[in-house]
């Protein structure tokens, strides 16, 4: 099975459409949360994933837009965007997001937005956190998002753990290893590469391949400005930060 794995769409329909076009035909689409928040097209992104029957979990920004988590830990711009998103969400978008869980297992892979230890909030950014997280699930693979940085944390059968940032074209052959893998962000990349990020999981070969695709950043920026969202949320898209 060839699976498109995406995360952190953040209401950026222009980036999502570019990724879906670049993915082409896949057997399934898995989304690791934060469908909304920051970007100006939350309903359109939800509708697109819903129509594609994507397996999707919720992230902290989805829960914030639903009013299910406090905005205390959000910075000013993120909180402003969460309030805007909450007011912009159509009832059917709200209902669809509210029906998603914080984690799920599909094809022997665990999907969690932050980490298998704390699916909503934890950032896996280093080997120490990853090592603890690898004890929190049984299968070979946990797919995570939340950091917006394409990366992998691979534990070989001898116990050795390798943490790596991932760039376009990188391939991970799982073999006997166990891993946490992050596709990066579709709608708000933060690794100084403004192109939308995603990965393809081949479940038969047990391989993960990281990809990037350009998208019309200016179109997404214009929508953010027109919506009255904080202008920095538009500017950062051009820098990939
Ligand atoms: Zn996010």
- Whether 15 and 38 have beta carbons less than 8 Å apart is answered as no
- Whether 133 and 142 have beta carbons less than 8 Å apart is answered as yes
| Percent of the chain clearing pLDDT 70 (strictly above) | 100
13 alpha carbon to ligand 1 midpoint, in Å? 15
For the chain, domain boundaries: 2-8+32-239
- How do residues 98-157 score in pLDDT, each as one tens digit? 999 999 999 989 999 999 999 999 999 999 999 999 999 999 999 999 999 999 999 999
Which pLDDT score is estimated for 73?
A: 87
162 alpha carbon to ligand 1 midpoint, in Å? 24
pTM of the model: 0.96
Percentage helix, strand, coil for the chain under 3-state DSSP, each rounded to 5: 30, 25, 45
Backbone angles phi, psi at 202, to 5 degrees: -100, 105
186 alpha carbon to ligand 1 midpoint, in Å? 9
- How do residues 73-95 score in pLDDT, each as one tens digit? 899 999 999 999 999 999 999 99
Q: Does domain 2-8+32-239 have CATH number 3.60.21.10?
A: yes
128 alpha carbon to ligand 1 midpoint, in Å? 21
Tally: H helices and E strands in the chain? 8, 12
DSSP assignments along 165-205, one per residue: E--TT-EEE-TT-EEEEE---SSS--SS--SEEEEEEETTT
161 alpha carbon to ligand 1 midpoint, in Å? 25
């Amino acid at each position: 099975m060839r699976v498109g794995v995406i995360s952190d769409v953040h209401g950026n329909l222009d980036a999502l459409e570019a990724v879906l076009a670049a993915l082409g035909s896949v057997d399934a689409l898995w989304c690791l949360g934060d469908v909304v928040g920051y970007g100006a097209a939350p309903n359109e992104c939800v509708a697109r994933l819903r129509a594609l029957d994507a397996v999707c979990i919720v992230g902290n920004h989805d829960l914030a837009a639903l009013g299910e988590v406090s905005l205390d830990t959000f910075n000013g711009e993120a909180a402003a965007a969460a309030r805007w998103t909450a007011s912009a969400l159509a009832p059917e978008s709200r209902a669809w997001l509210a029906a998603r869980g914080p984690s799920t297992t599909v094809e022997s892979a665990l999907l969690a937005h932050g980490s298998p230890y704390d699916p909503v909030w934890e950032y896996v950014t280093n080997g120490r956190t990853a090592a603890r997280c690898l004890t929190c699930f049984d299968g070979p693979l946990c797919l995570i998002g939340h950091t917006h940085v394409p990366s992998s944390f691979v534990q070989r059968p001898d116990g050795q753990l390798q943490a790596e940032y991932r760039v376009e074209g990188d391939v991970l052959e799982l073999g006997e290893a166990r891993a946490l893998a992050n596709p990066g962000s579709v709608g708000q990349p933060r690794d100084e590469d403004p192109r939308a990020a995603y990965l393809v999981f081949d479940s038969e070969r047990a391989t993960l391949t990281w990809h990037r695709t350009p998208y019309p950043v200016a179109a997404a920026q214009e929508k953010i400005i027109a919506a009255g969202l904080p202008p920095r949320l538009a500017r950062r898209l051009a820098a990939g930060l």
